């Protein structure tokens, strides 16, 4: 069965629209998000445009700040500090990658953890790794995919948990293989799956006999950026396969990291590219903005 991230994202966004309208009634203003783009990288321009459109749809107040690629690190920090201090700003996102002369880690630390809607600030990452939420009390659904960690959870792993919830498959006790060990997807995903009582393998470019490792997976998640790396011989019959990759092929078409056509009849559930994980990541950014607003208002 194909998991339509596009349809699930649309359902979640309609629900968020209503949540945001109710919040505006209650608190006198809607949650607000500021997206900073440095330079004019074409891929970043498309991603930022998608984020602004999603915010508009959800009735989240949003603003885009476009800065020249020649901006200094210290001027970018000053801009971020101004937004940190602004009580009417709930979420701040700096679109990555940044120009080479700017230290990304430094910039991600400059955003106040409470306004970090990506979940990339070291305080949010540490909280995720050190905190053990009460999973037993949590009933996962597409609307509520992760238990309350009290911090921002990165958007892509959170969106993937929502997709997994849509299948209705129980995660407890399952073998999960995460291919890719990035800070944005692989590492947080592995921790979230461990907390859901999965036995997790974190595979990467140096893993020997990757197909054999993947074949053990009841849940296979791939985020490496190599088109069609995962072929039919990597899939355990009946597995759930989640493809995070979006790769442009020489003929101009898009392909995931999974050979979709070869794997779709072996897997029980599989995400397409496009229309799988991508729309969910942007949707979870909206949810994270709403959650940051809610936490700030509760203080």
Find how far residue 77's CA is from the centre of its chain.
24
Rule CB under 6 A: choose which of 94, 125, 179, 223 binds ligand GUN. 94
Rule CB under 6 A: choose which of 32, 37, 79, 95 binds ligand GUN. 95
Closest CB 210 distance from ligand GUN, rounded Å: 24
Closest CB 96 distance from ligand GUN, rounded Å: 4
Cβ-based nearer residue to ligand GUN, 255 or 288: 288
Which range in 25-33, 94-102, 226-234, 266-274 contacts ligand GUN by CB under 6 A? 94-102
Q: x-or-dash pattern for ligand GUN, window 42-81, by CB under 6 A?
A: -----x----------------------------------
The contacts of residue 72 (CB under 8 Å, 6+ apart) are: 101
Closest CB 285 distance from ligand GUN, rounded Å: 7
Instruction: Exactly one of 90, 116, 118, 257 is catalytic; name it.
Output: 118
Of all residues in this chain, which one has the CB nearest to ligand GUN in the complex?
Answer: 96
Return the number of other C-beta atoms located less than 10 Å from residue 205's C-beta.
Answer: 11
Mark whether 11 is an active-site residue: no
What strands lie across the sheet with 32-38, from one edge to the other?
A: 61-67, 32-38, 91-94
Mark whether 132 is an active-site residue: no
Closest CB 94 distance from ligand GUN, rounded Å: 6
Element (H, E) at 140: none
Instruction: Exactly one of 90, 95, 116, 158 is catalytic; name it.
Output: 95
Cβ-based nearer residue to ligand GUN, 94 or 125: 94
Kind of pairing, strands 199-203 and 175-179?
parallel
118 is a site residue for ligand GUN (CB under 6 A): yes
Element (H, E) at 36: strand 32-38
Kind of pairing, strands 254-255 and 247-248?
antiparallel
Contact 205, 180 (CB under 8 A): no
Rule CB under 6 A: choose which of 20, 34, 93, 113 binds ligand GUN. 93
Q: x-or-dash pattern for ligand GUN, window 153-172, by CB under 6 A?
A: --x-----------------
Cβ-based nearer residue to ligand GUN, 156 or 234: 156
Give the DSSP letter string of 211-274. HHHHTT-SEEEE-S--TT-B-GGG--TT-EEEE---EE-TTS-EE-SB-HHHHTTTSSEE--SS
Mark whether 118 is an active-site residue: yes
Catalytic residues: 51, 95, 118
What is the contact surface with ligand GUN in residues (CB under 6 A)? 47, 93-96, 118, 155
């Amino acid at each position: 069965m194909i998991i339509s991230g596009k349809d699930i994202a649309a359902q979640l966004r309609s629900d968020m629209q209503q949540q945001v309208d109710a919040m505006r009634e209650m608190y006198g203003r809607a949650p607000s998000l500021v997206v900073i783009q440095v330079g004019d990288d074409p891929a970043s321009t498309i991603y930022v445009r998608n984020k602004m459109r999603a915010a508009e749809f959800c009735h989240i107040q949003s603003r885009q700040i476009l800065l020249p690629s020649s901006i200094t690190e210290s001027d970018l920090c000053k801009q971020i500090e101004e937004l940190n201090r602004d009580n009417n700003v709930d979420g701040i996102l700096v679109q990555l990658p940044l120009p080479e002369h700017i230290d990304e880690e430094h910039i991600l630390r400059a955003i106040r953890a409470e306004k970090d809607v990506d979940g990339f600030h070291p305080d949010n990452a540490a909280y995720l790794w050190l905190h053990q939420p009460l999973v037993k009390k949590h009933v996962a659904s597409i609307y509520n995919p992760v238990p309350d960690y009290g911090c921002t959870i990165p958007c892509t792993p959170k969106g993937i948990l929502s997709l997994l919830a849509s299948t209705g498959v129980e995660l407890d006790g399952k073998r999960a293989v995460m291919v890719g060990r990035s800070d944005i997807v692989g590492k947080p995903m592995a921790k979230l799956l461990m907390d859901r009582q999965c036995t997790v393998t974190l595979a990467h470019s140096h893993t020997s006999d990757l197909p054999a490792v993947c074949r053990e997976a009841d849940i296979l998640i791939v985020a490496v950026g190599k088109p069609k790396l995962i072929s039919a011989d990597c899939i355990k019959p009946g597995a759930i396969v989640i493809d995070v990759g979006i790769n442009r092929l020489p003929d101009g078409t898009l392909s995931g990291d999974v050979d979709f056509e070869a794997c779709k009849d072996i897997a029980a559930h599989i995400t397409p590219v496009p229309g799988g994980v991508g729309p969910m990541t942007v949707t979870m950014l909206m949810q994270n903005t709403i959650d940051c607003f809610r936490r700030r208002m509760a203080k």
